[in-house]
Amino acid sequence: KLSDICFYAKGKVNISGLSDADYISTENMLPNKGGITTASSLPSTIQTQAYKKDDVLVSNIRPYFKKILFADFDGGCSNDVLVFRAKEGTDARFLYYVLADDAFFDYSTATSKGTKIPRGDKTAIMQYEVPHFDLPIQKKIAGILA
């Protein structure tokens, strides 16, 4: 299961420490695994969800848009962005490729909640079946897919 190789990262970051380049929301994530653009604005709150370099960010609104990012830097994101962090013994790039697979987005869409603005079910997402590979094999797979 996905929960065997990663977890939802927790933590907050002050908005005052962020720029439009390191703030990620569902609005500046591009569909079809297209990465991100610069945020048009920062939220008016004091803090937001934090992410770290090597985390995988996935938009949790309308999963069929396939918005995903491998974080090359630390920053902050909206609460509608899921922050996946690889567990010890899991290669972060391998985790990215597991989550970037169309099968994951199909699963997230099929198990989502809501009709007008469907959101991924965070509990169901962690039940997603993932093949088990030891770390050297994960690194090899990620290297081939890179």
Tens-digit pLDDT string for the chain (146 aa): 999 999 999 999 999 999 999 999 999 999 999 999 999 999 999 999 999 999 999 999 999 999 999 999 999 999 999 999 999 999 999 999 999 999 999 999 999 998 889 999 999 999 999 999 999 999 999 999 98
Structurally, the chain folds into a number of domains equal to 1
Q: What is the pLDDT of residue 115?
A: 84
Q: Which three-class secondary structure state does DSSP give residue 6?
A: strand
Is pTM beyond 0.85? Reply is yes
CATH number at residue 33: 3.90.220.20
Fill in the amino acid letter for 58. V
Residue indicated by tokens 């997603």: 128
C-alpha of 22 from chain center: 14
Q: What is the pLDDT of residue 48?
A: 96
Domain that holds residue 43: 2-145
